[in-house]
A and B are shown apart, each in its own frame.
Chain A
Amino acid sequence: AQSVTQLDSHVSVSEGTPVLLRCNYSSSYSPSLFWYVQHPNKGLQLLLKYTSAATLVKGINGFEAEFKKSETSFHLTKPSAHMSDAAEYFCVVRGRGTASKLTFGTGTRLQVTL
């Protein structure tokens, strides 16, 4: 079985400062990991994904994440926050197989202040 733990339920940053959203995973095999963003009352948008290729993954809107096996982490970062980044962020791990289930973390709400 696989799982993800998002260490912070809420993160607040000032506009223009770096963003760090933390995620640790647990998996008995090499996992596929994702970060999704959800704006209020909207569906989910894929930010980036790791599928056993390069450990530093670049996504949309300036976000990136680094897969660190030794630390079982997949933290999401962005050098400079923008007001439009305020949303809920989910770290997700995918199971194996053709009907691969996604297991979602509990989410981190990012607040961006002026």
Chain B
Amino acid sequence: GAVVSQHPSRVICKSGTSVKIECRSLDFQATTMFWYRQFPKQSLMLMATSNEGSKATYEQGVEKDKFLINHASLTLSTLTVTSAHPEDSSFYICSASFTGGGSYEQYFGPGTRLTVT
């Protein structure tokens, strides 16, 4: 149980275009979803936290107009990188959590490798 999927697993896009990444909780309802970014050989950095039906909370330094997050349902959150540039190339990982049984454990997706050319 507690499986999180991401789609696509890998995407290459041209500079200036937008890319949407989906994060789905397959067998549970996620009250909260998180989006992380990981540069090569570095740790994960939290970008934003989203709760279903409300606006995402962005971490300091993350441009909300560039990284659009939509959490339309309890099983789906999307991250759209708008007007992507080569410096946006990174590994994007989502996680999902639910409050069942008092646990707030985060379950991670397999990640999406974005390359902007």
Contact = CB atoms under 8 A, between A and B. Distances in A.
Interface residues of B, number: 25
A36 B108 CA distance: 10
A43 B106 contact: no
Contact of B43 (A45, A90, A99): A90
A41 B105 contact: no
B64 to A, nearest CB: 17
A99 B51 contact: yes
A82 interface: no
Interface residues of A, number: 19
B21 interface: no
Contacts, number: 47
Question: Which secondary structure dominates where chain B touches chain A?
Answer: strand
A61 interface: no
B108 A98 contact: no
A96 B43 CA distance: 21
A107 B6 CA distance: 23
A107 B43 contact: yes
Contacts of A42: 110-111
Contacts of B43: 90, 104-107
B51 A43 contact: no
Interface of A: 36, 41-46, 49, 90, 94, 98-102, 104-107
15 contacts: A36-B108, A41-B111, A41-B113, A42-B110, A43-B108, A43-B111, A44-B108, A46-B105, A90-B44, A94-B104, A99-B32, A99-B57, A99-B104, A104-B43, A104-B44
